[in-house]
Each structure stands twice: as C-alpha cells, then as structure tokens.
Amino acid sequence: MVSLYHISDIHVSSKYFQPELMEQLISEVNQVRPDLLVLSGDLTDRGLGFEYQEAKRWTDRFEVPMLVTPGNHDSRNVGYVHFEDLYGSRYRIVRLPGVHIVAADSSEPDLDEGRIGRSIYPWLHEALDAAGEGDLKVFVTHHHLLPVPGAGRERNILQDAGDLLKVLVDHGVELVLNGHKHVPWVWRFENMLIVNAGTATTSRLRGKGKPSYAVIDLDREAITVRHKYYDGSEDILHHPLERRTPA
C-alpha cells in the first residue's frame, strides 16, 4: 500500500493564513511519514519573492518526499520563476512502488482560470505512457477538472478540461488530485476518482467550511480517501478499482 497526504492552497503569506494549523499539519505528517506529500498549488498569495521564501521555510520542515505544483496565486507577478528556483520543474514525474504520478502546471500568469495547453499534451502522453505495467496512475494539477458544489460561479475551471479528461481516461488514470476552490470534494468519473482538496491552513472558507487536507491510501484493489479536519472529524470514501487496459 502507498500512502499520500494531499494538501493545497496553504497561502502562507495571506492574512487568512493560520500558522497554528500549519504547525499541527507538519507535526502530523512528520509523525505519520507518508510515502509522499502532494501540495497542489497556491503556496503564496501574490507570487512575490518574499512570499515564496516564507513558503519554503514552512515546507522545508516536512521530513517526507514532496511533490509540489504551482497554483494561480503562485504565478502572479511572474512568480513561476521563483517557483522553479525553489521547487524545481513545474512538470514532474514521481514513481512510487506500484504508483506512477504525473504533475503539470495549470496556472496562467496573472489569471485565475487555468489551462494545461496544447503544447503540453505530447509531454503528458509520454509521461503517462512511461508508467510500468500494472502501475496505478495519478495526475496532479491545481485547477479542478469538474465543477465543485458550493464553489460559486464556475469561471475558473480548466479551459481545456474536456480534452484533459479524455487524455486521462484514455490512459487509464485512476486518481486525480487538485485544489483551487478551497472545497474538499470527491467525484467519480468513469473509473477515475477526482479528489479536490480544501484549503489546509487558511480561514478563507466558503459557507460553513473548515480547513482540511486529504489522506489517501492506494493499492491495486481500491483507493481510500479521508478528508480530515483539525477538530478530529473526517469524511471517508472507499473506491474499489476496476483495472482495465488503457485505450
């Protein structure tokens, strides 16, 4: 079994940032020691250099492997150059035992809406094709691929969500991780589970929402997702896998 922690939208430089929640999250992750921590964007508020430095001071305290992708806030003010300096490529492949993870930047400079873009699709096809036989495939990006309940008008969904969903389904991707709207949610789409993370460490919440993060266990038979809240409550979804041959 492979264990992931999925966090998103930490906005460490925002006035809504709650450092005590970040402290609690770091302590838990370092104690549990999952196989990978996935941070799906919006580390900062305005993509400024000093905000990235603050974010890096926090994320450096995680003592587990990390996969980080930028969000729309991180690409403001040409912030993606700071991301690349501090966190590396915005397009990544991570291999874990039996799990193949591909991450792609969906942000556009100074825009809230997202797009993967036609120029990235050849790389994405190749990256997904590189999975080993029988590997469970995971895709990570910032923007959500399907509308999220309670998230207001859907103006910020990926512009090329339809094309991207087809690519992921054709390649037999079983799990998608994204954030952006600060609303924890899970959709089943074909044989694929799409997990939206809430905001892990801010009070920028919708309605009666609470800061949250996801703990995900993966094996060849099923994916189990637990959206965890800092008051000790959690929402659990168990998704049996129907393994199939990609188109």
- Which pLDDT tens digits describe the chain residue by residue (247 residues)? 999 999 999 999 999 999 999 999 999 999 999 999 999 999 999 999 999 999 999 999 999 999 999 999 999 999 999 999 999 999 999 999 999 999 999 998 888 888 899 999 999 999 999 999 999 999 999 999 998 887 766 666 788 999 999 999 999 999 999 999 999 999 999 989 999 999 999 998 988 889 999 999 999 889 999 999 999 999 999 999 876 554 4
* pLDDT at position 241: 87
* pLDDT at position 242: 77
Q: Which of 237, 199, 246 is nearest to 218 (CA)?
A: 237
**Contact criterion met (CB below 8 Å) for 146 and 162:** no
Residues 13, 124: Cα–Cα separation, whole Å: 32
Domains and their CATH numbers in the chain: 2-240 (3.60.21.10)
H or E element, residue 55: helix 49-59
pTM to 2 decimal places:
0.94
Torsion of CA 156, 160, 166, 171, to 10 degrees: -90
Pairing label, strands 91-96, 99-104: antiparallel
